[in-house]
Amino acid sequence: MIIDPTGLDEIQDTLKSLENKTDDIKPLLKELANHLYNGVKYNFENQVTPDGESWTPIKFRKTDNTPSKILYDHGHMQKTLYAKTYKHSLTLGINATSNGYAYPLVHQFGTKDKTTPARAFMPIKLNGSLYDGVEKELDEIIEEYITI
C-alpha cells in the first residue's frame, strides 16, 4: 500500500510560515501597543470611555485652565501617556503624579464615595478585564497577524 499525500509541501510551508510569525511576536506587540495608545488618545480627545460612553461633565471652576475639556488642565496626563513593547509583553501607562499621588487612577475608576466619578480613558476595567470592544479589536489584530 502506497500513500501519496498531495499538498504536503504546501502544508509544511504554511506551518513554517506560522512558526516564523509566532517565534518573534515583537511586531505584533508593537501593533497592539500602537492600537491601545491611539485608543487612549482618542478617548481623551473625544471625552469618552473605551466603550464610547460620554464622560460625566465637570463642574466649572474659575481655576480651570481649560474648562471646556474634561481631564485636561495642563495636559500633564495626556503628555505622560506611553506604550512600550518588550520581547514577550507590552506596557501601556500614564506617569502623571501630583505631590506623589497617582491621580489618573482616581479619574479612571472614580472614588468609592462617588465625589469623583469614573471617567475611564484606559482600556481596563476595575476588575482587571479589558472593555469588550477593545478585547475584540485586539483579537482581530492578532487573528490578522497570524493568518497565513
Is the model more confident about 61 or about 138? 138
Nearest to 92 by CA among 133, 37, 25: 37
What is the rounded average pLDDT for all residues in the chain? 89
Residue with cell 482581530: 140
Residue-wise DSSP of 79-142: HTEEEEE-SS-EEEEE---BTTB-THHHHHH--TTSSS-----SSB-TTSPBPHHHHHHHHHHH
Domain boundaries, the chain: 25-146
How far, in Å, CA of 102 to CA of 60, rounded?
23
pLDDT of 42 reads 98
Backbone angles phi, psi at 120, to 5 degrees: -65, 135
pLDDT of 59-117, one tens digit each?
877 777 777 889 998 899 999 999 999 998 999 999 999 999 999 999 999 999 999 99
| Percent of the chain scoring above 70 in pLDDT | 92
* DSSP 3-state percent helix, strand, coil across the chain (nearest 5): 40, 10, 45
